């Protein structure tokens, strides 16, 4: 039995005294202990070494009174398992030497046995759960098929992912085949995470907002929904689509347990679009953590009051930035933990 199940209560829609809080990328570059380990091990070595991944997952938990842990990993371990040799290059980010640009390349991609190719992630879950000792839930995650496709086709990060979008529009048959292969791999991957003991899974659609509402339905949401349909009988599924407020109404009709929202939508409007029935997560602008601790506390209180304490998970509207002061991150978390109804 998990001692602090506030996060799970929010996902179940139960009444709570205060919202739970965690931060996307909380086990990340803003922590000095993370940076110290980064100097010793490269990025994917940390992802592929269960002991390191478990230790990194625990770093923010030891510092702050968070209500959930999220396993340290990366969305690109899935395409790596499918045979795409992604690297993490300094000052560049994700890099794929030979991007996927043709039907022949797509046809040659295999849906792997995740136990063989991603076993290190499942081992990291076991080690992390031992360290957590049932104190708080552990979240597993994956990238959305569309977001993974963006990196596979573009070969690197991008401001607009124009190459990836053009590939989909010019070669829709190849695009849909690639999306389906990513979807099938992701479903198997997340199911195994649940079997290993995570309490919920989150799907990150970081680049969904690059698409028009119509294209989002065709190239992103219908694949995310396959994941939701497959995983929702087994666990709580949270979907976070950055810039995807236009899809909230349709997402609400699915079997998701919660929807993440970014800072570009007012809490009141997010509630309207989700018919006041959905647990929402977000939506503090990560850059706002550069404000003073006093301002952060005031803004967090306003955010909670606007969303309402129930069916709500306090979080950022995207991942925490690497240059955020430790005391400002703590101010955000403490403001939620200390929140009281007016």
Indicate the annotated binding residues for substrate: 25-29, 44, 74, 151, 206, 318
Sheet holding 69-70, edge to edge: 69-70, 138-143, 200-205, 236-241, 258-261, 279-284, 312-316
DSSP three-state, residue 73: coil
Rounded-to-integer distance, Cα 10 and Cα 33, Å: 30
Active site residue 151: yes
Q: Given 7, 151, 216, 312, which residue is catalytic?
A: 151
Active site residue 262: no
Bind-site residues: 25-29, 44, 74, 151, 206, 318
Active site residue 266: no
Q: Given 25, 123, 285, 306, which residue is catalytic?
A: 25
Active site residue 63: no
Active site residue 288: no
Q: Identify any residues that bridge with 316 across adjacent strands, giving them in sequence order.
A: 284
Q: Given 29, 63, 123, 285, which residue is catalytic?
A: 29
Rounded-to-integer distance, Cα 307 and Cα 273, Å: 13
The gap between the terminal CA atoms of the chain, to the nearest Å, is 32
DSSP three-state, residue 234: coil
Rounded-to-integer distance, Cα 303 and Cα 319, Å: 17
Rounded-to-integer distance, Cα 173 and Cα 179, Å: 10
Q: Given 5, 67, 74, 184, which residue is catalytic?
A: 74
Q: What is the DSSP letter of 82?
A: T
User: Would you please indicate which residues are annotated as catalytic (active-site) residues?
Assistant: 25, 29, 38, 74, 151
């Amino acid at each position: 039995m998990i001692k602090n199940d506030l996060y799970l209560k929010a996902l179940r829609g139960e009444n709570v005294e205060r919202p739970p809080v965690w931060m996307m990328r909380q086990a990340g570059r803003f922590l000095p202990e993370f940076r110290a380990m980064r100097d010793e091990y490269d990025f994917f070595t940390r992802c592929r070494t269960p002991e390191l991944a478990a230790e990194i997952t625990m770093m923010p938990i030891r510092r702050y009174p968070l209500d959930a842990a999220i396993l340290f990993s990366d969305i690109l371990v899935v395409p790596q398992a499918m045979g795409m040799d992604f690297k993490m290059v300094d000052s560049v980010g994700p890099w794929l030497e030979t991007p996927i640009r043709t039907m022949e390349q797509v046809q040659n991609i295999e849906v792997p046995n995740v136990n063989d190719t991603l076993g290190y992630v499942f081992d990291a879950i076991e080690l992390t759960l031992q360290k957590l000792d049932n104190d708080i839930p552990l979240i597993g995650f994956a990238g959305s098929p569309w977001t993974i496709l963006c990196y596979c086709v573009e070969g690197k990060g991008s401001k607009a992912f124009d190459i990836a979008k053009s590939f989909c529009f010019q070669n829709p048959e190849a695009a849909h085949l690639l999306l389906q292969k990513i979807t099938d791999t992701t479903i198997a991957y997340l199911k195994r995470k649940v079997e290993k003991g995570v309490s919920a899974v989150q799907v990150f659609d970081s680049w969904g907002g690059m698409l028009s509402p119509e294209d989002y339905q065709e190239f992103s949401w219908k694949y995310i929904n396959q994941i939701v349909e497959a995983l929702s009988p087994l666990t709580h599924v949270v979907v976070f689509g950055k810039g995807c407020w236009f899809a909230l109404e349709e997402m609400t009709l699915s079997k998701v347990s919660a929807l993440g929202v970014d800072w570009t939508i007012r809490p009141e409007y997010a509630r309207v679009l989700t018919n006041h029935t959905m647990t929402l997560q977000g939506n503090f602008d990560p850059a706002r953590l550069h404000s003073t601790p006093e301002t952060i506390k005031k803004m967090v209180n306003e955010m909670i009051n606007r969303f309402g304490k129930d069916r709500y998970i306090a979080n950022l509207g995207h991942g925490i930035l690497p240059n955020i002061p430790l005391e400002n991150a703590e101010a955000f978390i403490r403001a939620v933990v200390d929140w009281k109804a007016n």
